[in-house]
Amino acid sequence: MGKNVDVLQGTLNLLILKAISLGPLHGYAVLLRIQQLSGERMEIQQGTLYPALYRLEHQGLIRGTWGESENNRKAKFYTLTPAGRRQFAAEQQKWEALAEVIARILGADAATALAAEAKA
Amino acid sequence: MSLLQKMRSSLKTLLFRQAAAREIEEELHFHLEAHTADLLAKGVPEQEARRRARVDLGLPRQHAEMHRTVVGLQLLDETLADLRYGLRGLWRNKPFALTAILSLAIGIGAATAMFSVVYAVLLDVYPYADSDRTVNPIIHDPNVPDDWNWFVLNREQYAQYKAAPFFEDVFAQGGMGMQVDDNDVQQPLHITLLSGNASAFHRVPALLGRTLQPSDGDFGDKPSNIAVLGYKFWKSHYFGDKGVVGRDLKAGSNIFRIVGVMPERFTLGGAPDLYMPISQFPFPNGHYIAFAKLKPGVTPQQASAMLDPMIHQFAKAEPQFYPKQFHVRLQPLIEGFTARSKLLKNFPLLYFAVSALLLIGCGNCSLLLLARGTTRVHEFALRSAVGASRARIVRQLLVECLTISLLGSMLGVGLAYLLARLPLQLAADLFPTEAVIRINGTILAFSILIAVCAGLFFGLLPAMKYSRPQISNMLNANGRRTIASGGKGVLQVLIAAQIALTLVLLTVSTAAVGGFLRLMRMHLGYDPSNTMALYVGLGKGFAPTWAERAALAGSMKQAIETVPGVLSAAIADDFPPAGGGMSQFQLLGEENLGRDTRYTSVSPDYFKTLRISILRGRTPTEAEWRAGIPLAVVNETFVRRFSPHRDVLDRTLRTPALSTATDDMNNPQGRTFSPALKDQQIRIIGVSADAVNDGLDKTVAPNLYVNSTAAMYGFFPFVVRTRTDSHAYEHDVAHAIHQLGAKNFITVVPQSLQEMVEHENVWRTQRLVAVLLSIFAMGALVLSLVGLYSVVAYVVAQRTSEFGIRIALGAQRTGVLLLVLQSNAAVIVGGTFAGILLSLIVRSRFAQWSEYSSRSSLNILYAALLLGLAATTASLLPAFRASRVEPAIALRAE
């Protein structure tokens, strides 16, 4: 198991939306899902999860409904709303673009830099 | 859409607060359970598993708070917390809270009430449609400035007047009297007759039933015997019975069908008892007042100029109704009130008084907030030290100030409601009959706005200053619980300003009260106490000849005088203090006729009855009176003005008042003349002292008191002096007269002469102004004293430890007393001097408005002394407490 990574600032919402986009989840399951998707390398602070959920629900991106959990307990399940789905797609695109740019910058060496300059 | 969603989410949490909190709790509960179960599965011991789950999640309460923050309710929560905190603080410090709230309430109440009265009597008086374009038919005699007269029109003239092209509409109004039987006493009924178009002219719907309609009868129609009740008459005679429409009213020998009741503010024609169609008017050649509505864009001046030739032509045909010279001056409806109102002249003074009171009230509240704020520096420092932001502290103070302001405003509204009714209760007849005084919303809002602004400004002043305090400074032992010196300067200026304003109000009110007292003690020249005036009318056709009337007058007088308790009775057709008719006359041996004197018909014992002294000559004898010898007594002013160089006694004058040609056409009972009367000549045989005969506020007019039997009407007016209060004898006197032949007499309810004095416009005005100003001044005095007291008390409380130390070090208690007094002396003295200065300015400014106020400078001095004394007392009480400080207790209090 590799080293744990911290949640990058501003990405928690995206992670939550991703987790929920795969199917309705209750709060605790969101934690577990993110943990599992990260290959157990990322652990979300429990204290920050719920405020993020409250915010997303307030913005109308997710909707909470009460249902029964795996062990027959009453739990609040979150699903993506249509607005949430659109928002998730947009955020994901933005993130991928950003990641690509950052990866290119970080991966550059002297030769590619010179080539880029000559092109300009 | 997203905004809508957010609002819905916020609202849901706001409205279903409990449900939202429970949901969060349940969700977290499930989370804890699930987490614990996972940990247990991993082999963690149960207790440890539960602990770790709780630690990982954090406090549930924090989550709930976070949720409210997320949905945007944090501000509300904090404000509510501030409010709770503020209310708790106010509750803990009840005297402070009460004083601050009451101060605002008194200021707001007085200002709102006063300005609502002004609004009701000046700006929103009439309920009639287009009342701003409606004009009174007025002519103005250039020889009598400041006076004006109505002109009346007969039917033909009315038709011509109505056709004038610049009038949109004209309606005619007439008046007549009848009697109605009310518990065996004949009450006079005032009836206003209206032309058929009057309802369409005014467009005021009836309260019950209907208004008069053209079909009810116009000029020349047969009388339809219907009546619409005036509101007051409906209330007094029918006690507001809603089933009155359709019933019959018996008045005199006629029966009228009641078809409606007019609303309270419809009082056309001086709030008459009944309205009837003009066809009911019994005199075919009668005259009417014609009110006109100008076409839009036509000014009263333009219309007057265009009407002038027409009215002069009318005057040529009927010269007895017009002065020799006149101009037409159509007068906007409201000016009928404003041009003669004496109260109006006092309005600026009253505005000033309530504005000052509002300022004092706001000032007081500010003082208290400021004093309290400066003593809370320690609290602010502490809050700031534990992390409160500056905005948070300011916001908390803001909420407190608003709470006080709003509570004060609410109380003020109640007070305004009570105060606004006072003027109408004290002196209803000083206001247009249409005026109904209500609290005006705009004015109220304005007063509250001022109060809130003052509260905020002075409440926030200390907050702005100390919300970012030098914490270490404030918290260290030496700086602890001291008054911050910066606030003190503002405090002192505020107190001084309050004292100055209060002093001005006191001088103004003592001047008004002094003026009123002077009016009460005014030398009238006659004695109105225990006297009454009453009219006895003769039934139609009864005692038509002079001889019969003269005999009847004698026996009636005798009948009244035999009533036990009656000291004397006399005939008099005018009752002081206001006079009746003027007449022209010519002293024989002199050329000019154009002289006017007040003409009063009296029997010889008039002077004895009213206690007017005879200075020279004599009054007619009983025999001369019975014989109708035309003799007269004149007053001093008459002598001074018309016969200054020649002895007036035994001079003869000639007056057209005794000519048959000028007989009043509207009096069906006619006049009969003494056989002894020759060529309208009267001989003067006595001179009386001057007695007020032209109203309390004017100089005495020349007066001719003529033997009443020289010319006799079909009614007898009496003045009667009784042993005690005249009201007690009213019934006996009426009974004595009726014994002479009840069927033939109509007795009108007597009036007391003292009450006539009190009904004088100037008397009521002066009394109203004096009462109002006294209330305002007392309010101001109490407010500023309480303000001063509480501020000194605050300061003293803050300096308790200092006084303790001083006393412990051997300071005399009187020394401490003086120390406290000294710190206020400058403020009190400064404020008083500023007040004296301001009073002098105000007096010179208001002199022309309050002409009856006492102008003595002593007033200012008295007021200053009173205020100085009161202010010293107010600061003495807490000072005294300071001097009694026990050093040990004071030091331990630290």
List pLDDT tens digits, range A19-42: 888 888 888 888 888 888 888 888
Interatomic CA distance for residues B832 and B788, integer angstroms: 13
Is the domain defined by A12-119 classed in CATH 1.10.10.10?
Answer: yes
Whether pTM exceeds 0.90 = no
Give me the domain span that covers residue B290: 134-333
Q: CA Rg, chain A, in Å?
A: 18
- Where b means 16+ CB within 10 Å and e means fewer, B319-349 reads eebbeeebbbbbbbbbbbbeeebbbbbbbeb
The pLDDT of residue B474: 55
What six digits make up the tokens of B894? Answer: 């630290």
Residues B496 and B538 in one domain: no
Contact A73 B33 (CB under 8 A): yes
Contact B27 A50 (CB under 8 A): yes
Residues B251 and B285 in one domain: yes
Interatomic CA distance for residues B323 and B313, integer angstroms: 13
CA angle B853, B855, B860 (to 5 degrees): 110
- The answer to the question of residue B738 being in a domain is no
What six digits make up the tokens of B808? Answer: 């412990």
Asked if the bond preceding B577 is cis, omega within 30° of 0, the reply is yes
Determine contact, residues B73/B380, Cβ cutoff 8 Å.
no
The per-residue pLDDT for range B676-726, each reduced to its tens digit, is 888 888 999 999 999 998 888 788 899 999 999 988 877 888 999 999 988
Residue ranges in chain B whose pLDDT is less than 70: 1-2, 181-187, 374, 462-488, 540, 580, 592-594, 660-670, 742-744, 746-749, 846-856, 890-894
CA distance A99 to chain B (A): 28
Residues B347 and B311 in one domain: no
Residues from A in contact with B at Cβ < 8 Å: 26-28, 46-47, 50-51, 54-55, 57-60, 69, 71, 73-76, 83
Residues B138 and B260 in one domain: yes
Whether B58 contacts chain A with CB within 8 A = yes
What are the C-alpha distances in Å from B5 to residues B64, B799, B813? 20, 57, 71
Residues of A in Cβ contact (< 8 Å) with B1: 83
Closest residue in A to B1 (Cα–Cα): A60
Residues B186 and B292 in one domain: yes
Determine contact, residues B679/B632, Cβ cutoff 8 Å.
no
Residues B625 and B655 in one domain: yes
Residues B303 and B328 in one domain: yes
Whether B27 contacts chain A with CB within 8 A = yes
Interatomic CA distance for residues B764 and B285, integer angstroms: 39
The per-residue pLDDT for range A25-84, each reduced to its tens digit, is 888 888 888 888 888 888 788 888 888 888 888 888 888 888 887 778 888 889 889 988
Q: Is the ipTM of this complex over 0.95?
A: no
Last residue of a domain, one of B288, B314, B333: B333
Interatomic CA distance for residues A16 and A4, integer angstroms: 18
- The answer to the question of residue B412 being in a domain is yes
Determine contact, residues B451/B106, Cβ cutoff 8 Å.
no
Residues B376 and B419 in one domain: yes
Interatomic CA distance for residues B512 and B849, integer angstroms: 11
Interatomic CA distance for residues B594 and B586, integer angstroms: 8
- The answer to the question of residue B786 being in a domain is yes
- Chains A and B form CB pairs within 8 A to the count of 67
Contact A76 B23 (CB under 8 A): yes
- The answer to the question of residue B489 being in a domain is yes
Other C-beta atoms closer than 10 Å to the C-beta of B653 total 25
DSSP state of B288: B
Last residue of a domain, one of B723, B742, B774: B723
Q: What are the residue boundaries of the structural domains of chain A, listed by start?
A: 12-119
Q: Which helix (H) or strand (E) holds B249?
A: strand B248-251
- The answer to the question of residue B752 being in a domain is no
Residues B557 and B477 in one domain: no
Could you tell me which residues are beta bridge partners of residue B294? Answer: B167
The pLDDT of residue B594: 62
Q: Which helix (H) or strand (E) holds B46?
A: helix B46-57
In this structure, the dihedral spanned by the alpha carbons of residues B109, B111, B112 and B114, taken in order and rounded to 10 degrees, is 110
The pLDDT of residue B181: 65
Interatomic CA distance for residues A68 and A76, integer angstroms: 8
Contact A50 B30 (CB under 8 A): no
- State the alpha helices, DSSP H only, in B93-129: 94-118
Q: Which helix (H) or strand (E) holds B535?
A: strand B531-538
Give chain B's domain count.
Answer: 4
CA distance B28 to chain A (A): 9
The pLDDT of residue B211: 92
Contact A46 B63 (CB under 8 A): no
Residues B328 and B360 in one domain: no
The per-residue pLDDT for range B404-423, each reduced to its tens digit, is 888 888 898 888 888 888 88
- Where b means 16+ CB within 10 Å and e means fewer, B676-713 reads ebeebebbbbbbbbbbbbbbbbeebbbbbbbbbbbbbb
Residues B376 and B482 in one domain: yes
Residues B593 and B502 in one domain: no
Q: Which candidate in B1, B4, B5 is best for mutational testing of the A interface (most A CBs within 10 A)?
A: B5
Give the phi and the psi of residue B384 in degrees, each rounded to 5. -65, -40
The pLDDT of residue B476: 52
- The answer to the question of residue B125 being in a domain is no
Q: Which candidate in B3, B12, B22, B30 is best for mutational testing of the A interface (most A CBs within 10 A)?
A: B30
- The answer to the question of residue B748 being in a domain is no
Q: Which helix (H) or strand (E) holds B160?
A: helix B155-162
